Structure 1
């Protein structure tokens, strides 16, 4: 049974995570401490979405973790913007000389021209770019679905570049 506070008319709960012992807020729970007619509609912060990636370079890992934390608190625009920024950081980590203002297209072209990403991965990076551009340059907020897509595609890119490569290089 979850530890927390709930009353008869309360439709929310603050509980402590058994893993990190920090509080998390639930709204509209079913079955724990609230009536059955309510369902879970919100948890803040939620479990960090996205994959746990073990072999990210030190200049990439903090940004990816930040994007996951943003998603867990429903900061969708920030998530999408960070995923776009990660692509530039990947290019710099892979050898693109870092001038003060690396243009996004230069970073993507570098990744493609130096065979860091597969030929068919350009469409993946373009989808991250389009969502990230909306986050950076347009007034409407990024939707939850677009933020999830951006984080998923970013994780897939990072997994292929770093985790898969590390496992392939490991000696049996």
Structure 2
């Protein structure tokens, strides 16, 4: 059995002490198709996302990329290096903000910083970790930020 192939890509609870910062390798350029598909699948009729004429008349001058998709991408970009194979459950998202708009053609990257970590009091072999995810566009501007609390496996419990 090859231990490297059996090991999850994500990090175990013990590998995420407070202060750890992970600059995620994956990036994603968002497209008009992404925006329209996500917006219509989620039943969001907001003209700023779907009506190019209305968006052109707005203060932004063009369609805004759906912020809920931006939030989903922010979390998704972190999964490979943070929680893939080690996540038990997402426990919540808080403090979600979008300080700058995202537009079709922007390329997003993410980083995550561990802001809280403790062993679970009710689930032996698991730990609760809160990270602050930050998303940036190709200009290095902060476009999204949130805190995500996860229940993660502990390495020792997984080895047994």
Q: Shared fold (TM-score greater than 0.5)?
A: no
Give the TM-score of the pair, scaled to structure 2. 0.28
Highest relative contact order (Cα 8 Å, sep 6+), 1 or 2? 2
Task: Answer with 1 or 2: which has the greater Rg.
Answer: 1
Give the TM-score of the pair, scaled to structure 1. 0.27
Structure with greater proportional strand content:
2
Structure with greater proportional helix content:
1
